[in-house]
Amino acid sequence: MPPYLAHEDTGATGDTGTGVLPLPLVLVHGHPFDRGMWAPQLAAFSADRRVVAPDLRGYGASPVPDDTSTPLSVFADDLAALLDHLDIDRCVLGGVSMGGQIVMECCARFPGRIAGIVLADTFPAAETESGRLARAAMADRLLREGMAGYAEEVLYKMVAPYADPDVAAHVRRMMTGTDPRGAAAALRGRAVRPDYRPLLPRITVPALVVVGADDEYTPVAEARAMHEALPASTLEIIEGAAHLPNLERPEPFNAALAQWLLRTGL
């Protein structure tokens, strides 16, 4: 039976000559994007390890859910099923923004499968009451109007106003290419997510916390708080980037990730 999630599965799957089989790196995109947001990392890390980047349900080439709400637990269960299909017992799991919250949900649901985590431009707190109302209203708006207007409004918060025009255009294409039904269901599900702050001290695997220095959605202070709560974490602040440093500044992002993987033996 084919996996539910469309995905890219590339890179080394055997011994690289060092006598050590690198763990697969599984990368989870944020809202409202698709696996194309990981293109620089797929290119950089597939030379010596297996790299998997799925489209979450309702995004990219994955099926759009019939349900009006997709909780983070459903996204996490989809990822577990994909790992099963790909015969991946343990991996390094990373995510940006909503993807980072899905990583935290995975840590709660199947911690034994996760050898290390990357939390980029994300935060662990539950949604506020005003935030829940705002997400519900935005979900209704996307179903009513489509993605174009929303994409224009948030583009230069997703990436910095000074971002490379080609990067900004790529981000815009991903947002406008997303099915509004999938985006709306994710917004409603994310609105009722649990508070992951009590979970963080129990995540004892190595963690890399990354944040763009100019991120308005998840400021550096949020990243510092996660770093301080995680028992075995490294904090990297990417200058010259906003909410998507892996796309805006792929060279320093990839260097930080590569150094962390090497230092932790992952």
Of 12 and 67, the one with more pLDDT: 67
What's the confidence (pLDDT) of residue 213? 98
Q: Which of 173, 144, 183, 190 is nearest to 65 (CA)?
A: 183
**Using one digit for the tens of pLDDT, what is the confidence trace for 196-253?**
999 999 999 999 999 999 999 999 999 999 999 999 999 999 999 999 999 999 999 9
How many residues are listed for the chain in this entry? Answer: 266
pLDDT tier at 2, thresholds 50, 70, 90: low
* Contact call for residues 5 and 57 (beta carbons, < 8 A): yes
Q: What is the CA radius of gyration of the chain?
A: 17
**Using one digit for the tens of pLDDT, what is the confidence trace for 190-202?**
999 999 999 999 9
**Using one digit for the tens of pLDDT, what is the confidence trace for 114-172?**
999 999 999 999 999 999 999 999 999 999 999 999 999 999 999 999 999 999 999 99
- 118: three-class secondary structure by DSSP: strand
What's the confidence (pLDDT) of residue 77? 96
